[in-house]
Amino acid sequence: MRARVRLRREEEPKVSRGRPTGQPAASASRSRSPGGQPSPFRVSLLLAHRTLGNRWVQRHLVPSDRIILRDPKKPESDKPPTKAGTRQVNVSALKGIGPQAVVLITAAATTALAGTDPEVHVLIHYHGHTGGYGDVGGVGAQRAAWDQIGPQIEATGRPVIAILPQAGIRADENWGFGGAASKPTEYIAGVMAQLTTQEKWAATPKYTVAVSGHSGGGYQAASALAQGLKAEEVMIFDGINGYLELGSMITWVESRLNDAASRIQAAGTDTKKQDEALASTVWFRAYHHGRDLDPAKDKVDLSEPFKKNRDAVGDRGYAGRYAILKDRVDKWFAKNGSKLGDDALQARLRGHFDIKGVSGSEHEDVVGKSRGIEKGLKP
């Protein structure tokens, strides 16, 4: 029986994240000095944002009448820049199930849906606190330009339907995805049923599932897994916020490795069963912005307990937490790799768990610059 991992949310005081109705969001110009240079507040905010993550900053630093300041660079288009053939449709909030969603349908999925007994691959992606595809005022277009989810799923050539639930930008103190994260299986089924009606499909297609999350949406993706979502692929982008979430993610990854090892060992020397064991192992991709930490060069100790390890708590930001996760995976293979048989099997299993930095990227554009959605959906 597969282990069920219970995730713990970090114990943090509730703070209001709402913005009074009709009150405009802070603009970049309000955070610049008269000479045009970024104000000390903006510099400090962006530094905290990049190291601690927007979820932490939003809870502890940003007043309730402001949203997190964005890069002033505007997208070239006011529409999500999806590759030709990918269509965008909107699904209204599902009463009692979850929030509204933006849905991207690849050309391959459209072709499959026109045939008999169609099968598609569903990606559910949870955005962070700075907004999603469906937000107004240019935020949705900016998010689409950063993430490039449409072009990435199109590039796979697979019949993919991407469901992007919309939590909004700090709509109230209960920011979140509701049933989209707490009851992900039911939410996906509800969206697919609604799409069947809207798009006039002959019937709801069969589908497999992948899940991804960026920034604050990383916790939502992990919560969906803890609630029993059966995902073939998991992608986490700058989405491990704090040492409690890191501990939960390590526990989940190690449980998947242990499960895979048991099936591979049970396969013995039967190559067909070995292939089946690997094929049923989750495909995990975890990317953080910026370069990987070098323990020797950067003088970091990845083995310290989380509460004492500054790299897990936040001084090193996402790079530190992802480095610790990678270190735990490496240690798992050092301890258990010989039990899997030959080196080729170890390498194949290791290839299912890719954890690394994306040089040249920033927190907000790591989903797009990593091409992590495209890489995270198995060929």
Domain containing residue 287: 87-376
pLDDT in tens, 133-146: 777 667 788 888 99
Contacts of 108 (CB under 8 A, 6+ apart): 157, 158, 159, 160
Mean pLDDT of 166-181: 67
Position 311 scores a pLDDT of 57
- In this model, does residue 43 exceed pLDDT 60? no
What's 369's domain CATH number? 3.40.50
- Residue 137 resides in a domain: yes
Q: If you count them, how many residues does the chain have?
A: 379
pTM of the predicted protein model: 0.77
- Residue 10 resides in a domain: no
pLDDT in tens, 242-295: 888 999 999 999 999 999 999 999 999 999 999 999 999 999 999 999 999 887
- Residue 27 resides in a domain: no
- Residue 225 resides in a domain: yes
Q: What distance, in Å, lies between the first and last C-alpha atoms of the chain?
A: 28
Residue where the block lists tokens 């048991």: 262
- In this model, does residue 315 exceed pLDDT 60? no
- Residue 161 resides in a domain: yes
Position 57 scores a pLDDT of 53
Mean pLDDT of 33-45: 50
Q: If you write DSSP's letter for every residue of 289-343 in order, what string do you get? A: EBPPP-TTTTT--TTS-TTT-HHHHTTTHHHHHHHHHHHHHHHHHHHHGGGG-SH
- Residue 8 resides in a domain: no
- Residue 209 resides in a domain: yes
Neighbours of 246 (CB within 10 A): 22
Token digits for 74?
A: 């505007």
Position 307 scores a pLDDT of 65
Rounded to whole angstroms, the Cα distance separating 130 from 144 reads 12
Mean pLDDT of 126-133: 85
- Residue 265 resides in a domain: yes
- Domain count of the fold of the chain: 1
Q: How confident is the model at residue 41 (pLDDT cuts 50, 70, 90)?
A: low
